[in-house]
Amino acid sequence: MAEGTNDKAGSGRRKTLISLSGVTKKYQKNGKDLEAVSGCDLEIAENEFLVIVGPTGSGKSTLLKMIAGFEPPTSGEIRLEGELIKGPGADRGMIFQEYALLPWRTVLKNVELGLELKGVSGEKEKKALAMNYIDMVGLTYAAGKYPVELSGGMKRRASLAMILVTKPKILLMDGPFNALDSKTKLTLHNEIVRIWEHEHNTIIFVTSELDEAVKLSDRIAVMNKRGQISRIIDNPLPRPRFGKEALAPDFHHRFVALREEVMNEVKIGAGLEACTI
Amino acid sequence: MKMGSKEDNIQSGSGMIVDFIKGRAFYLLGILLFLAAWQIACTLKGFGDFSEAFSPLSAALALLEMARNGDILHHAIPSLRRVLVSLSLAIVFALPTGVLVGYFRQLEQITYVPFQFMRMISPLAWMPIAIIIFGVGDVSVTFLLWLVAIWPLILNTVHGAGRVSPLWLNMAKTMGAKDMGILSKIIIPAAIPDMLTGLRLAVGVSWIILVPAEMLGVPDGLGYFILDTRDRFRYDQLMATIFIIGAIGYLLDSANRWLISKFAWKI
Ligand SMILES: Nc1ncnc2c1ncn2[C@@H]1O[C@H](COP(=O)(O)OP(=O)(O)OP(=O)(O)O)[C@@H](O)[C@H]1O
Ligand SMILES: [Mg+2]
């Protein structure tokens, strides 16, 4: 079923950037094998915005970590532009479910880290580039603060700026907007779509919020409790999806219909038992 | 606290002094009690016939004498120089070693037993060997001090470099960091608080080992001067030298505490 939907999106003018075939990841749990991700086939096109949803424990983070190169699949292959992924790289910027700010650096210095690693050395240049993204995530007033002084939401926004400033070709985002207030979330939705349209990156975005999934995605992949991709749903809603356009007469209706469809699929997937073998 | 001192600024200088003493009353009390107990014990001849010479008052007079005739500087400076030279050499060797051992797990396993074994040996036990290799004098003393300073530096750095959060490493890797970038941007700064703790311990133990080490045939230094005053039966100067050793040790440790409060990041 997954393959059928893939073909539809993949056969357009966009070329395939990442391809997963038969990707499985097993972990040991209480002496038993646990399939966190099970037989996933997926093709992600260049400049696509793919959202992955699924119940908790369905393997979304695990799938993302394998694409990032932090963990190898137990079996199956993940290819990036035809090359097997061997480890993490600057072309795939990952935003982690847990934030990873360096406690000895201020927000500004944390955001500058990626630039330093890339070899940008001019202090002024570094600061200007970093402040761009700090402003964007709404942390201007906290640029000089240390991570201990930040709230959870501020830490999330800071880690977002940290990765965005490195302009990765592929953005892997694991619940980046979880636990943010709705106003910040709205701003960041706008910004991430603007960045995506402007910089033509490819985004794989994990979330548990279906509104967010429908609002952002080109396609939505639904994972179930067994770590399988149970369905890939195309999102035909026209862009832009913010502001006035969202007021078009049938937009709301179509939005809700799509969300219900996704919700149904997630519910079915959550009803299954996790697969231990 | 801040508000209070601001008001005092407006009030008067004597108000500030009172404020300063108030905050430290018990520290001052501790010092006074310590000196008083020492003086009383000496006056009551608690330490035998020479008790008078051991008293804080005689020591204070001897201290003045030694300040005037230059003995203090003449012996304190070589001692400080030996400690600082050996510490610098220890830092240059121990910090990189500690970072590498902490970062590469195999290296930690390879070095574990030798390091734990070596660090339990008093450097003074190496003294005859040091003298055979380096001869009597400065080099031997410096070597012994180096040998005692490297262990706290190495082991604390290993600890700091080893407990770096895997999240930080993953984050750096997803930004394209390679080994060098990870070492310089993540591992080393992450280990700085532990390095400073190691430094504080190293300074403390070096200063302690310095005195016996300087009794091994060098012509100056506070350890040498202890023996010299003994031989001249100048027990008041001996007490004064003991006081100087304690005071310099205290200052060195304070400098370290300042470094820690300034440069060690906290979670
Ligand atoms: N390192 C690991 N070792 C053992 N089991 C793991 C490991 N990582 C994940 N798992 C297990 O794999 C399954 C999938 O975990 P994963 O974190 O990918 O889920 P998720 O879909 O991201 O969940 P959530 O929505 O709660 O973030 C879970 O059952 C989890 O306990
Ligand atoms: Mg997850």
Residue A72 has pLDDT above 60, yes or no: yes
Is there a contact between B176 and A96 if contact means CB atoms under 8 Å apart?
A: no
Q: What is the pLDDT of residue B3?
A: 42
Residues B267 and A103: beta-carbon distance below 8 Å = yes
Q: Chain B closest CA to A95's CA: distance in Å?
A: 8
- Pairing relation of β-strands A49-53 and A202-206? parallel
- Residue A8 pLDDT level (bands cut at 50, 70, 90): very low
Does residue B128 surpass a pLDDT of 70? yes
Distance in Å, alpha carbon of B196 to nearest chain A alpha carbon: 15
Chain B interface includes A13 (CB < 8 A)? no
By CA distance, what is B171's nearest residue in A?
A100
Instruction: Classify each residue of B180-200 as buried b or exposed e, where b means 16 or more C-beta atoms within 10 Å of its C-beta.
Output: ebbbebbbbbbbbbbbbbbbb
What was the pLDDT predicted at B12? 64
The answer to whether A53 contacts chain B (CB < 8 Å) is no
CB-CB contact of A204 with A150 (8 Å): no
Cα A101 to chain centroid, rounded: 18
Chain B neighbors of A168, CB-CB under 8 A: 174
Q: How far is CA A48 from CA A171, A191, B66, in A?
A: 11, 16, 82
Chain-chain contact of A89 with B189 (C-beta, under 8 angstroms):
no
List chain A residues with CB under 8 Å of B194.
none
Report chain B residues whose CB lies below 8 A from the CB of A100: 165, 167-168, 170-171
Rounded mean pLDDT, A185-207: 91
Q: Does A87 touch chain B (CB under 8 A)?
A: yes
- For residue A56 and ligand 1, the question of a CB distance below 6 A is answered with yes
Distance from the CA of A55 to the center of ligand 2, in angstroms?
Answer: 10
For the cut 90, the answer to whether the pLDDT of residue B6 exceeds it is no
Q: Does A98 touch chain B (CB under 8 A)?
A: yes
Token pair, residue A87, equals: 């480890």
Q: Is A160 on the interface with B (CB under 8 A)?
A: no
User: Is residue A114 within 8 angstroms of chain B, CB to CB?
Assistant: yes
The pLDDT mean for chain A works out to 88
Between CA A176 and CA B248 the distance in angstroms is 54
A225 or B49: which carries more pLDDT confidence? A225
Q: Cα(A68) to centroid of ligand 2, in Å? A: 14
Strands A16-29 and A75-80: antiparallel
pLDDT in tens, B203-245: 999 999 999 999 888 899 999 999 999 999 898 999 999 999 9
Q: Is A58 in the pocket of ligand 1 (CB under 6 A)?
A: yes
Do the chains contact at A93 and B190, CB–CB below 8 Å?
no
pLDDT band at B107 (very low <50, low <70, confident <90, very high): very high
Nearest to B167 among A96, A114, A166 (CB): A96
Element (H, E) at A172: strand A170-174
Percent of chain A with pLDDT over 70: 93
- List the single range of B15-19, B65-69, B174-178 with lowest mean pLDDT: B15-19
Complex ipTM > 0.85? no
- Of residues A240 and A273, the one with the higher pLDDT is A240
User: Looking at A167-176, B47-56, B111-120, B129-138, which range is the least confident one?
Assistant: B47-56
Question: Of all atoms in ligand 1, which is nearest to the CA of residue A64?
Answer: 18
Q: Whose CA is nearest to atom 12 of ligand 1?
A: A36
The shortest CB-CB distance from B172 to any of A91, A117, A172 is to: A117
pLDDT tens-digit readout, A156-171: 889 989 999 999 999 9
* Interval B154-183: pLDDT, tens: 999 999 998 898 899 999 999 989 888 999
pLDDT class for A5, splitting at 50, 70, 90? very low
Yes or no: say if B131 and B215 are a contact pair by the CB < 8 Å rule. Answer: no
Beta bridge partners of A40: A23
Any idea which fold A47-62+86-269 has?
Rossmann fold (3.40.50)
pLDDT given for residue A275 in this prediction: 60
C-alpha A227 – ligand 2 centre gap (Å):
12
Whole-structure pTM value: 0.80
Q: What pLDDT, on the 0 to 100 scale, is given for residue A277?
A: 59
Which residue ranges make up each domain of chain A? 47-62+86-269
Which among A239, A168, A153 is positioned nearest to A204, based on CA atoms? A168
A residues 20-39 closer than 8 Å to B (CB)? none
Q: Is A230 in the pocket of ligand 1 (CB under 6 A)?
A: no
Q: Does the beta carbon of A27 lie inside 6 Å of ligand 1?
A: yes
Rounded to an integer, the average pLDDT of B57-82 is 93
Q: Indicate the pLDDT class of residue A113, thresholds 50, 70 and 90.
A: very high
Would you say the CB of residue A61 lies under 6 angstroms from ligand 1? yes
The superfamily (CATH) of domain B65-263 is: MetI-like (1.10.3720.10)
Token pair of A235 as six digits: 């999102």
pLDDT of B5 > 60? The answer is: no
The runs of H, that is alpha helices, within chain B are: 2-11, 13-23, 25-43, 51-54, 56-69, 71-103, 105-118, 127-134, 138-162, 166-174, 179-182, 188-213, 222-231, 235-263
Give yes or no for A86 touching B (CB within 8 A): no
pLDDT of B261 higher than 60? yes
* Token representation of residue B82: 């030996």
Q: Quote the ligand 2 centre to A174 CA distance (angstroms).
A: 7
Please tell me the predicted confidence (pLDDT) of residue A276.
63
Cα A78 to Cα A72: distance, rounded to the nearest angstrom: 9
